[in-house]
Amino acid sequence: MLCAAFVLAGDGTSHEKINYEASNIFLHAPNYDPEESDKTVRSRRFLGVRATATHASVVQQASLEAIVAEMVGLYNTVFGSKASPDEIYRKLTGTMGDHANDVKKTSRLWEIRKAKAWASKYREQS
């Protein structure tokens, strides 16, 4: 995939008993200034807001995994590639959120998911 690394950020809220999760990624992206097109710039990319059943950590992670699957599917369609979501997870360098316990747990779940992605790559190589 095109970026070397990224940080995942998200937060949730509820309105009229409906939970919502918003998410962003922070990464170095191409600079679209013609005079500096060979450089990258720090960028934030909004991934959307989704309604979720609960604000639980596993639900937050599942919502973001669905977004990653959509991104990879779109990438593969546009570029004729065979990328997998694991390629994205291996590039995850951190997470951002508030200090709530569910966010801390979600961060730990992403660490586990990233470790599984690396383990899968190492199994393929051996």
In tens, the pLDDT along 37-55 reads 788 889 999 988 988 888 7
Cα–Cα distance measured from residue 39 to residue 16, given in angstroms and rounded to the nearest whole number: 45
List the beta bridge partners of residue 8. Answer: 25, 95
Cα–Cα distance measured from residue 64 to residue 7, given in angstroms and rounded to the nearest whole number: 13
- Of 11-15, 23-27, 61-65, the range with the highest mean pLDDT is 23-27
Residue 12: phi, psi to the nearest 5?
Answer: -135, 165
**Nearest 5 degrees, angle CA 74-CA 112-CA 118?**
65
Q: pTM for this structure?
A: 0.75
Give all strands (DSSP E) within the chain, no chain letters.
6-15, 18-30, 40-52, 92-96
